């Protein structure tokens, strides 16, 4: 066998192993047989005193309402999960994750995704990948009037989230909406909003039994916003005002089929 063929075989083997690990990891987390293992890693996104102070004061309990949200919504779909997730708050990092491409190039996005996964592996300090652990890197920024945060993201491959959050304790509940949104992206949930952040109908609204132009009083988590009585697209105050809609439930394995499988294993 020539060296070229051997090299191709080795490359194919590596790709097959990576695909197999991805499938195994997704099977593990989407089975919901054990609480989600979630590691939160804070990062100062702007080097501000506000971000440093926010990070110093962080506790794992600051993310408890995400677990309460998942517990409430899983019960609504007939699966009692308590706790639904367990959070480990890891030491803050000084290094920033790779920045995603801004031009939407598919090739650049694929390359960036590989860069991000390699960066996460390097930060872990472990020899082997942490299979089954959702890694959420939360970048805190001092609030600035009229300045929006960078877009957050969640990757199913590698179970990685990069979340931009406000370094303001009064924003903790809304920060957790964004964190929960990206967490569900890592489990296979897709966005449920369109142009201008407007929720898509019917999958992007909390109550799809209401007409498309009717106001809502809560948000579907993967839409992240709802249309209020004034016709404005607004962000809910907390996860208490969010739900997991039927399509998202199917994507993360909270559907009726999972309920039957879960029940038969108990």
pLDDT digits (tens, 9 = 90+) for 149-200: 889 999 998 899 999 999 999 999 999 999 999 999 999 999 999 988 899 9
Instruction: Please state which of the ranges 42-51, 63-72, 126-135 shows the lowest mean pLDDT.
Output: 126-135
* pLDDT-derived band at 259, boundaries 50, 70, 90: low
Mean pLDDT of 111-115: 89
* pLDDT-derived band at 263, boundaries 50, 70, 90: low
With pLDDT > 90 as the criterion, what percentage of the chain qualifies? 64
Q: Is the pLDDT confidence value at 34 over 70? A: yes
Mean pLDDT of 218-247: 96
Q: Output the pTM of the full model.
A: 0.88
* pLDDT-derived band at 28, boundaries 50, 70, 90: confident
Mean pLDDT rounded to a whole number for the chain? 87
How high is the pLDDT of residue 266? Answer: 46
How high is the pLDDT of residue 6? Answer: 62
How high is the pLDDT of residue 256? Answer: 60
* pLDDT-derived band at 13, boundaries 50, 70, 90: low
Instruction: Please state which of the ranges 5-9, 74-78, 132-136, 229-233 shows the lowest mean pLDDT.
Output: 5-9
Query: Structural domain boundaries of the chain?
Result: 33-188, 191-266
Q: What are phi and psi of 53, to 5 degrees?
A: -65, -40
Third-level CATH fold of 33-188: Collagenase (Catalytic Domain) (3.40.390)
Question: Is the pLDDT higher at 16 or at 241?
Answer: 241
CA 171 to chain centre: 18
């Amino acid at each position: 066998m020539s060296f070229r063929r051997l090299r191709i075989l080795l490359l194919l083997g590596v790709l097959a192993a990576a695909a197999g690990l991805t499938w195994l990891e997704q099977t593990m987390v989407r089975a919901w047989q054990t609480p989600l293992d979630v590691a939160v890693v804070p990062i100062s996104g702007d080097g501000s005193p506000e971000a440093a102070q926010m990070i110093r004061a962080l506790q794992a309990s600051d993310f408890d309402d995400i677990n309460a949200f998942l517990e409430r919504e899983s019960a609504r779909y007939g699966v009692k999960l308590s706790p639904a997730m367990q959070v480990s708050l890891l030491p803050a990092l000084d290094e920033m994750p790779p920045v995603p491409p801004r031009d939407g190039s598919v090739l650049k996005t694929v390359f960036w995704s590989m860069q991000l996964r390699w960066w996460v592996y390097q930060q872990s300090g472990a020899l082997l990948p942490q299979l089954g652990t959702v890694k959420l890197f939360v970048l805190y920024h001092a609030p600035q009037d009229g300045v929006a945060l960078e877009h957050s993201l969640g990757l199913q491959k590698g179970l990685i989230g990069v979340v931009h959050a406000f370094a303001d304790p009064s924003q903790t509940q809304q920060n957790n909406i964004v964190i929960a949104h990206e967490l569900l992206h890592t489990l296979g949930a897709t966005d449920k909003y369109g142009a201008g952040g407007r929720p898509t109908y019917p999958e992007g609204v909390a109550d799809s039994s209401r007409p498309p132009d009717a106001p809502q009083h809560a948000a579907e988590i993967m839409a992240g916003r709802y249309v209020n009585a004034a016709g404005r697209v607004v962000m809910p105050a907390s996860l208490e005002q969010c739900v997991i809609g039927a399509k998202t439930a199917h994507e993360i394995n909270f559907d009726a089929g999972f309920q039957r499988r879960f029940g038969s294993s108990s």
